[in-house]
Structure 1
Amino acid sequence: MIAALLSLLLVAAPAPAVAHAGCGGHELIVPRQMAAPTDVASQSQIKDPQQQCTPYQYPRIAAIQANYPTIWQTATIPAADTAARELFARINATVNEKLPNAGLKPAAGPPGLPNYDRSDPDCWWTWQGCSTPNPSLGIPADVVRIPEPNSLGMTVDDGPNCSQNAFYDFLREQNQKVSMYYIGSNVMIWPLQAMRGHQDGHEICVHTWSHQAMTSLTNEQVFAELYYTRQIIKDLMGFTSRCWRPPQGDVDNRVRLIAAGLNLTNILWIEDSNDWRANVAGSAVTPADVDRRYQGVIDQAKGGNYSTQGTILLSHQSTNYTMSTLMKWLPQLKAAFAHVVPVASGMNWTTPYAESNFTYPSFAQIIANQSASAPGSVSASGPSASVSIGGNNAAASGSVTGTASRSGAPSGSGAGSAASSSRAAGWRSSEVGTGGVVLAAVLAWAAL
């Protein structure tokens, strides 16, 4: 377990970098505060990255932790969770009926499956970017772009990151909302950081429990990876996400069917910053390569490539470097595109969560709000719609069911970026946790 945590826990290195710079680019020098944060407001005020990444105990997590899989291990359904087992049984029956011969893919991706049918019957995105499953399956196409012309759907994977305050502060200063794809294990470890994303008005989506190649997992593991990430978001923030993204885009029809049974819409991308590959041992990708990726997106926007429909860009908050790099390029992206918005707004999904009393700005509303200097936030109406910092209005684990896919999902989509979907052995641990990993933090959190 400790080995898995060491390879995957997201902790930004304390070395000086742009993401932790204050006004004028100077490093922020603050007294080390010893008091542990107790709410989002107190956690958000911490400027020292090392202090941000000091483990803390949050009462709501302590109360429900036993209901969840072990952090950073492949998720399975706990024996006592009968509601989840019943829901999985129904979804699994549908998968077996519609795809009786569906099998698992190797975690290494296509190189490990040389005899895979080149006609791609499984619509395996990792193979060649397939994002439109056979209509006979009754599941929607993946979302790979937003329809609004000259617009960018901004997405950030792998959060929450314990040292994200400077990054989130920057997004506030820019009055910029994005779509955040949260890893369930990270939410368990850093709940206050996770809740800040919602309080700041970002769209919150599922990015699995332990960040693995989803097509390599069994049906139960796929279900649990999605279900418990969705559930911890519900328990902490009071709403049920209906959007998800597979790590590395690794999805096929079997995984899509399971996700659809949980009412989750798959969000992929056209443009890939490739930021997570830079500064990684064994990777040939350099920061200069990442800069060229960002510049390429900007050049395409200025050249009119998105004049008829927008696009979606993949970035990460997995390390100090990835956050710093997005901070560097975001103003230029905003200058090149007419609008930079979260995917929900770009798709005009004004009720992106299962609870209809949580509302989100439409495309017209969010671009109008972007002209204001004060940061906006997600709104909600009704007695149970307020953000539940302590989880008071959260449903019990296993209480949420869903079988219908999101209405309004596009019937067709682009081919995606097949070139960015290549795999190599060990990619799961290389994308997440490339910052300095702190063993003391892992051990301290486990002891809380």
Structure 2
Amino acid sequence: MLVLALLALPLLSTASVHERHGAHAHSHTASKRLPTTWHHDSDHPVHSLFRRADAAVSFAAVGSDEWAAGYPAGPPASPDVSALPAAWVAALNDAISRKVIPDVPLSHNASDGGSPTYPNGADPNSPDICSATYQCRLPGDIWDGPAGTIGISFDDGPEAGTADLLGFLGEKNQRVTHFLIGSNILYMPDAFTKMFNMGDDIAVHTWTHPHMTTQSNLQVVAELGYTMQLIHNSTGGRVPKFWRPPYGDTDKRVSAIAKEVFGLTTIIWNQDTSDWSLTETPPGTTSDAIAKNMQTWLTGPKSPGLIILEHELTKESTASFIAAYPVMQQNGWNLVSLAALVGGNVTYQNAASNTAAVTNVDIVNAKNGAVAAVGAAGAAGSSASASGASAKSAGAAATPTGAKTAAGSGNSASSSPSSTPNAPSSAAPRWTTGPTALLSAAVLFMLWK
């Protein structure tokens, strides 16, 4: 019988071998992909622009010379579009080739400092232009909140009013959204780090604060891209999800570039304090006027919910918010950040929050379901799903500005939190009995008989 068993071994060796991939055995059953929290599919260029920190990439310490190197100067200069990263330009060209960037003429700044105007008498409220400056609302752009809620946000930081604002928010344990000017982050890295460590949402307010409808396609990419890149490199690899155009100036073309190239959602507002003008000469408003407007808004109808334009520009603008905060509470409003208000409590495109794991869109290491689960478990709101049309990759990007490969990283690790990918599970082969092996066993049984 031993001889028969030995003769059967070659037959048994034809049994199938399957590998384990991660925690689950490979399956041939085609399953429908669950909805994700990502605006773009995994092959979209945005995910090659902003790679997460992992074993191969680290980030320079926030505030260091290395961290600040490679970015454009701040205003009044504008970023040099001839020096843009090739991957950003490729992503723009890809979006244009897919005909998702409307051909809208550039507006021009008014000589009297008023609202930009379009050439040849073009109507800014026409469906082909739809300028937010003229109160035209584009589908997908956010203007209002859910009933009974106030989405609290501040523009233009970090700035002179940031320290007082953060001190007050910390006392009240109030999370808010900061729409930051990229060049300001370079000049006030400590304030930036503090707001991030407090758990506030970090969002985009361009690099130099221009009227965006006056900017060429490449200039729009530069204003958004450099700000996103700096935030990414200062937060452990997080990719911003929201932006607000300076002066509320966007149109069909600009919002499309923000969305299709960088995955950004545009957020405007439905009430304006004009607090930025408190310290102008002459002042454009007063603290009393702001308080009166706040009283009207906060004691009025609760539908739609409020998104109030406020600034951390000066101590005076911050003081106006601090004075209005008790009135918000006394009138029963639900006070939340904009990520909680409209983003399903998912603050970034690749991470639910400032402390949640940073997830690449890679189908192996970063399932979108994991991002959604963290958002649902770590916050009061549920994670919102979003999806976008598939787009071809624009090609691999070079190492991001301010990032470095592990070979040259030394000990200069970022002070911001970062995460490393989980190592793939070892492939563990397992034996399964195929038809040939079963036949061999039957033959052996008959020979035994």
Does TM-score exceed 0.5, indicating one fold?
A: yes
Query: What corresponds to 1:86 in structure 2?
Result: 90
Structure 1: which amino acid aligns with 2:176?
V
1:317 is aligned to 2:312:
yes
How many Å separate the matches in 1 of 2:378 and 2:350?
Answer: 22
1:245 is aligned to 2:249:
no
Rate the CA distance shift 1:224–1:292 in 2: closer, same or farther, 3 A: same
Is the 8 Å Cα contact of residues 159 and 312 (structure 2) preserved in structure 1?
A: yes
Rate the CA distance shift 1:321–1:389 in 2: closer, same or farther, 3 A: farther
Structure 2: which amino acid aligns with 1:255?
V
Alignment of 1:23-172 (within 5 A): 61-72=64-75, 73-77=77-81, 79=83, 81-94=85-98, 98-100=101-103, 102-108=104-110, 110=115, 112-113=117-118, 115-117=121-123, 119-120=125-126, 121-127=128-134, 129-133=135-139, 141-147=140-146, 149-162=147-160, 164-172=162-170
- Per the alignment, in what secondary structure is the counterpart of residue 316 of structure 1? coil
Is the 8 Å Cα contact of residues 177 and 203 (structure 2) preserved in structure 1?
A: yes
How many Å separate the matches in 2 of 1:243 and 1:266?
Answer: 6
Is the 8 Å Cα contact of residues 107 and 116 (structure 2) preserved in structure 1?
A: no
- Per the alignment, in what secondary structure is the counterpart of residue 333 of structure 1? helix
Query: What corresponds to 2:278 in structure 1?
Result: 278
After superposition, the C-alpha distances for 1:1-54 in whole angstroms (9 at most, x for unaligned) are xxxxxxxxxxxxxxxxxxxxxxxxxxxxxxxxxxxxxxxxxxxxxxxxxxxxxx
Q: Unmatched 5+ residue regions in structure 1?
A: 1-56, 134-140, 368-387, 396-448
- Per the alignment, in what secondary structure is the counterpart of residue 89 of structure 1? helix
Rate the CA distance shift 1:338–1:231 in 2: closer, same or farther, 3 A: same
After superposition, the C-alpha distances for 1:92-128 in whole angstroms (9 at most, x for unaligned) are 4456x6523x21111235474482326523110112x
Query: What corresponds to 1:351 in structure 2?
Result: 346
Is the 8 Å Cα contact of residues 61 and 416 (structure 2) preserved in structure 1?
A: no
Is the 8 Å Cα contact of residues 92 and 258 (structure 1) preserved in structure 2?
A: no
Rate the CA distance shift 1:194–1:70 in 2: closer, same or farther, 3 A: same
Is the 8 Å Cα contact of residues 244 and 268 (structure 2) preserved in structure 1?
A: yes
Is the 8 Å Cα contact of residues 67 and 81 (structure 1) preserved in structure 2?
A: no
1:339 is aligned to 2:342:
no
Is the 8 Å Cα contact of residues 155 and 181 (structure 1) preserved in structure 2?
A: yes
1:326 is aligned to 2:321:
yes
Query: TM-score with structure 2 length normalisation?
Result: 0.61
Is the 8 Å Cα contact of residues 138 and 252 (structure 2) preserved in structure 1?
A: no
Query: What corresponds to 1:384 in structure 2?
Result: none
Rate the CA distance shift 1:224–1:160 in 2: closer, same or farther, 3 A: same
Deviating more after overlay: 75-84 vs 328-337: 75-84
1:161 shift after superposition? 1.7
1:288 is aligned to 2:313:
no
| More contact order relative to length (CA 8 Å, sep ≥ 6) | 2
After superposition, the C-alpha distances for 1:235-266 in whole angstroms (9 at most, x for unaligned) are 01121101000011000011011101210000
Is the 8 Å Cα contact of residues 62 and 189 (structure 2) preserved in structure 1?
A: no
Structure 1: which amino acid aligns with 2:249?
D
Rate the CA distance shift 1:60–1:337 in 2: closer, same or farther, 3 A: same
**Residues paired across the two proteins, number:** 303
Query: What corresponds to 2:23 in structure 1?
Result: none
Is the 8 Å Cα contact of residues 124 and 130 (structure 2) preserved in structure 1?
A: no
Larger Rg: 2
Coordinate RMSD, CA, aligned: 2.9
1:64 shift after superposition? 3.9
How many Å separate the matches in 1 of 2:171 and 2:417?
Answer: 31
How many Å separate the matches in 1 of 2:285 and 2:333?
Answer: 30
Q: Unmatched 5+ residue regions in structure 2?
A: 1-59, 357-373, 382-412, 421-449
Structure 1: which amino acid aligns with 2:78?
T
Query: What corresponds to 2:366 in structure 1?
Result: none
Rate the CA distance shift 1:59–1:267 in 2: closer, same or farther, 3 A: closer
How many Å separate the matches in 2 of 1:75 and 1:81?
Answer: 12
Rate the CA distance shift 1:111–1:189 in 2: closer, same or farther, 3 A: closer
Query: What corresponds to 1:265 in structure 2?
Result: 265
How many Å separate the matches in 1 of 2:272 and 2:339?
Answer: 19
Deviating more after overlay: 245-254 vs 287-296: 287-296
1:68 shift after superposition? 1.5
Rate the CA distance shift 1:294–1:80 in 2: closer, same or farther, 3 A: closer
Percent of aligned positions that are identical: 27
Query: What corresponds to 1:33 in structure 2?
Result: none
Query: What corresponds to 2:253 in structure 1?
Result: 254
Rate the CA distance shift 1:80–1:311 in 2: closer, same or farther, 3 A: closer
Is the 8 Å Cα contact of residues 159 and 183 (structure 1) preserved in structure 2?
A: yes
How many Å separate the matches in 2 of 1:111 and 1:188?
Answer: 29
- Per the alignment, in what secondary structure is the counterpart of residue 106 of structure 1? coil
1:89 shift after superposition? 3.1
- Per the alignment, in what secondary structure is the counterpart of residue 310 of structure 2? strand
Structure 1: which amino acid aligns with 2:216?
T
Q: Match for 1:178 among 155, 158, 176?
A: 176
1:183 shift after superposition? 0.6
Q: Match for 1:187 among 164, 185, 188?
A: 185
Is the 8 Å Cα contact of residues 153 and 346 (structure 1) preserved in structure 2?
A: yes
Structure 1: which amino acid aligns with 2:222?
A
After superposition, the C-alpha distances for 1:175-213 in whole angstroms (9 at most, x for unaligned) are 111111111011111112112111111111100001110
